[in-house]
Structure 1
């Protein structure tokens, strides 16, 4: 069985692995690795996956931070009485003095 066939089989057998990527990005590792590496998932060691997880978790955290900031801005604008066609940032900045 080829490695790509094995990957296909694993994706079908485990629903949580359906979105398993074909490749992973192993980030910089200080002096050990001066460049990020892109590796096929079939060649990834457990350490490669552990380091790739650090990069993905940082991306996930950044997206979560943006999501929460946008939700907060939206909520503050609505609390200040903003309507859908108004500039949220403008309404919130005008309303700041009232809080």
Structure 2
């Protein structure tokens, strides 16, 4: 069985692995002067996956932070009386609706 077939079989056999990426991005590791790398999932070591998870978590947190800020802006504008066609920043900063 080839490694790509093995990965496909894992995805099919385990529903929670359906979203398993074909590749993992491993961020640079400055302390050891290791450059960033991309590896096929079938070639990734446990350490590679751990480092890829750290990078993915940082991306996830950045998206979550943006979502939270947008949600807060929206809610503050609505609380200030803004309507759908009003500009949110103007509503909050007192620029009028």
TM (norm. structure 1) is 0.92
The number of residues matched between the two structures is 95
Structure 1: give runs of 5+ residues left out of the alignment.
none
Aligned ranges 1:9-88 → 2 under 5 Å: 9-88=9-88
Structure 1 runs (4+) greater than 4 angstroms displaced: none
SS at match of 2:60: helix
Structure 2: give runs of 5+ residues left out of the alignment.
none
SS at match of 1:49: helix
**Distance between the aligned counterparts of 2:62 and 2:15, measured in 1?**
26
**Distance between the aligned counterparts of 1:37 and 1:55, measured in 2?**
12
